[in-house]
Structures are given as C-alpha cells and as structure tokens.
C-alpha cells in the first residue's frame, strides 16, 4: 500500500480512513496480543497537490485528536493541511488515544495529567506556580486557561500519561514509525513536544523516507533529566539510541560540555549522519515555557551536522501563543509559516 486507496465512484472533497501499524506481540496467560501498535487516521484531498504526505505525531500524554480540532470546536491542523493539498496521516502513539494501553503489555505508566498541571504548564502559566519570563504574553488560549475552564477540560479529557519507561517507548516508536513509512512511502514528519523523539528516531531508522521534519517545541533541552516526568534524554534529544558517527555504544560515550546555559556535546561532536540531509524546522511560540529550550535543541542538532531552521512565531508577527499553539484561537495563522517553510524546503 503506497497511500490512501482511491474511492471509486464517490464524489467527495476528501478521502479518509484508518488502520493500525501492528508488528510486535506478547504472549500472556490469556493468549497472544499486539504490543506497541499505533493507530493511524488518514485523510487526503480529492486531488493531492503536494508531493509528500504529512505524518502528524502528537505530544506528551495527548493523542492524534490534538490535530483534528480545537477544544472550543474549531477545525484543527489536519483539516487545514488537507485544504492545502496534503495527504495527512494522524497517529496515536503506542499506549495513547486509540492505540490501547495495558500495563501487562506496555509496562507501568508515569504520573497523571490533571487539570491543575495543564493550566500551570500550558494554558495559564502566568497565574500559577510555573510562571516563566514570557508567560504574561499568553493571550491565545480559547478560554481562561484556569483549571475550571471548559476548554482545559476538553483538552485534558483526551490526555493520558507518559510511560514510566520513556526509553522503551522511544524504541517502540522507532520500530513502528519505520513500519508506517515502509507502508505509506516517503513523508514529512510533524511532531509535537514529548512526541518529538518519535520523529527523530523514525528519521534515524528510515532517513531516505523522511523528506522534512517539523518539530513543534520539541521536548528538551538536550540531555535533560526530569525525575517528575520520568524522562531522561540520555542520547541528547531522545531517550533511546540514535545512530551517531563515530558510533556510540552507550550514552556514556557522548562527551558533554557546558555551552552557554545548556549542555551540548563536547568538541569534536559525534554526528547524526542519518538526519544530516533532512530539512528540519523547530517552531517556537512567544509565550510558552517549552520555547526556552528550543534554541538549545537546534544547537545540538546543528552541532551534530543537521540543517535546522528556527521558526519563531513572534518574529513572524504572530503573538500570544503558548505551547498548545495548534489548538489556540489563531491556530490557522500559526500554521502559515510552516506551510511557507515546507514549500521552500521540500522539493
């Protein structure tokens, strides 16, 4: 299967469907069950005008519905991308959304994602205990952003949890992300937040099938360790191994150095040769806590031989956005510089 099947005899403005990427299985006392499958919902315009589809990878404890619509009921980026001529594949990462979770199969889960944390981290940081230097500029969330906000409830209702073993999750995403590309062919990867490692490891596994990567405020900074989230980016931007040149058998072989305010590789750095020819863009919102580490992630990738463009929304005249910019009031406006970048970067 090279892409969405053609629907004979139907007059529609778009074609759509879904499938699961299934590979691994595990034998339990009850029988054999799939392990780590990802759910894929696809849609394509009646006439596809862009050369490659976009695979949309959700963040953190979210799910693919983050791309389908907004908490206040407006169209999401998947709709806008189809309108722009792209075929779109929206995934639910293993154990999220419509990709079922069971601890006997995927292991224990991490912490919960309550309304209070959504508000403090993403929708109204200025009023809470996680205020940061640009939090007061956040104006685009479609509601008050408080824990009682109905829009917060709508978003949080679809949010789950990060896996307790983030490295194992990244390794699983690598395998099944590669299998997805083997099925659909060359594609552009669009990843968000803690879903960004799936983009990096999928590209590392299938570099010839990845035509560009757009990372929406990828989890960072490089080599971060967060015991509260259970996340340790031991390989720089991922928790599971990447292919470095010269090779590194373990993350301990990646020599580190303090560079300005961040930890990067020590000179001479190992290269991420598989990603070197893939255009990469990192999107940064004006009023997001997560944006502050994006320059360090870009620096790490550039140091490793990658070509990286930073799309800073404030520099594009787009103001007031937080980390969930793809769902905020001006979500269509936020997408516009990404579309322009893709037109320039992808041939």
In order, the DSSP letters of 95-160 are TSTTS---HHHH--B-----HHHHIIIII-GGGSTT--TTGGG---SSS--STT-HHHHHHHHT--
pLDDT at 292: 95
What backbone torsions phi and psi does residue 19 show, to the nearest 5 degrees?
-160, 170
Q: Is residue 214 part of a domain?
A: yes
Is 8 domain-assigned? Answer: no
Residue 87 lies in a domain: yes
Is residue 31 in a domain? Answer: yes
Q: Is residue 152 part of a domain?
A: yes
Tokens of 217: 């405020």
Distance CA 218, CA 244 (A): 20
How far, rounded to the nearest angstrom, does the alpha carbon of residue 302 sit from its chain's CA centroid?
A: 19
Q: Give the Cα-Cα-Cα angle 148, 137, 328 (nearest 5 degrees).
A: 55
Q: Indicate left, alpha or beta for 107 from its phi (over 0: left) and psi (-120 to 50: alpha).
A: left
Q: What is the pLDDT of residue 3?
A: 46
Does the annotation mark 193 as catalytic? yes
| Catalytic residue of the set 119, 151, 193, 288 | 193
Segments of the chain with pLDDT less than 50: 1-12
Copy the structure tokens of residue 166: 């983030």
Strands 225-226 and 231-232: antiparallel
Residues 34/22, Cβ–Cβ less than 8 Å = yes
pLDDT in the model for residue 4 = 46
pLDDT attached to residue 27: 94
Report if residue 1 sits inside a domain: no
What is the C-alpha to C-alpha distance for residues 327 and 321, in angstroms, rounded to an integer? 10
Residues 12-69 pLDDT 10s: 478 999 999 998 899 999 999 999 999 999 999 999 999 999 999 999 889 999 999 9
Whole-angstrom Cα distance, residue 282 to residue 226?
22
Question: Coil, strand or helix: which one is 308?
Answer: strand
pLDDT of residue 197: 98
User: 47, 50, 76, 53: which is closest to 63 by C-alpha?
Assistant: 76
Beta bridge partners of residue 16, listed in sequence order? 43
> For all residues of the chain together, what is the average pLDDT?
94
User: Is 0.85 surpassed by the pTM of this model?
Assistant: yes
Contact 309, 345 (CB under 8 A): yes
Number of domains in the chain: 1
The per-type count for the chain, helices as H runs and strands as E runs, is 8, 14
C-alpha to C-alpha distance for 28 and 134, rounded to whole angstroms = 49
Identify the CATH number of the domain in which residue 153 sits. 3.40.50.1820
Enclosing domain of residue 308: 14-345
Taking the C-alpha atoms of residue 209 and residue 35, their distance in angstroms, rounded to an integer, is 24
In a domain, 140, yes or no: yes
In a domain? residue 9: no
Q: ω into residue 330 within 30 of 0, thus cis?
A: no
Strands 262-265 and 256-259: antiparallel
């Amino acid at each position: 299967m090279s892409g969405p099947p053609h629907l004979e005899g139907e007059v529609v403005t778009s074609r759509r469907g879904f499938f699961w990427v299934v590979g691994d299985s595990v034998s339990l006392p009850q029988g054999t069950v799939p392990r780590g499958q990802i759910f894929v919902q696809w849609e394509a315009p009646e006439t596809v005008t862009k050369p490659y589809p976009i695979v949309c990878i959700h963040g953190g404890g979210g799910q693919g519905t983050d791309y389908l619509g907004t908490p206040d009921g407006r169209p999401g980026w998947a709709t806008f991308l189809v309108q722009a001529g792209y075929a779109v594949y929206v995934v639910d990462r293993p154990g999220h959304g419509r990709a079922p979770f069971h601890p006997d199969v995927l292991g224990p889960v991490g912490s919960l994602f309550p309304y209070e944390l959504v508000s403090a981290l993403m929708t109204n940081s200025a009023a809470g205990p996680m205020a940061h230097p640009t939090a007061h500029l956040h104006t685009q969330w479609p509601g008050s952003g408080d824990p009682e906000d109905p829009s917060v409830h709508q978003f949080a209702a679809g949010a789950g949890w990060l896996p307790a073993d983030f490295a194992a999750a990244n390794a699983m995403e690598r395998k099944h992300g590669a299998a997805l590309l083997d099925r659909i062919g060359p594609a552009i990867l669009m990843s968000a937040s803690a879903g960004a490692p799936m983009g990096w490891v999928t590209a590392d596994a299938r570099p010839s099938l990845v035509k560009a990567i757009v990372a929406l405020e990828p989890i960072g900074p490089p080599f971060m360790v967060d015991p509260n989230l259970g996340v340790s980016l031991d390989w720089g931007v991922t928790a599971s191994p990447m292919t470095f040149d010269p090779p590194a058998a373990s993350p301990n072989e990646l020599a580190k150095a303090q560079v300005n305010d961040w930890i990067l590789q020590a000179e001479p750095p190992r290269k991420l040769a598989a990603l070197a020819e893939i255009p990469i863009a990192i999107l940064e919102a004006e009023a997001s806590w997560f944006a502050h580490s994006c320059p360090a992630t870009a620096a790490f990738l550039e140091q490793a031989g990658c070509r990286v463009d930073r799309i800073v929304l404030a520099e594009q005249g787009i103001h007031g956005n937080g980390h969930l910019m793809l769902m905020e009031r001006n979500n269509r406006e936020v997408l516009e510089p990404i579309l322009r970048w893709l037109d320039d970067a992808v041939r």
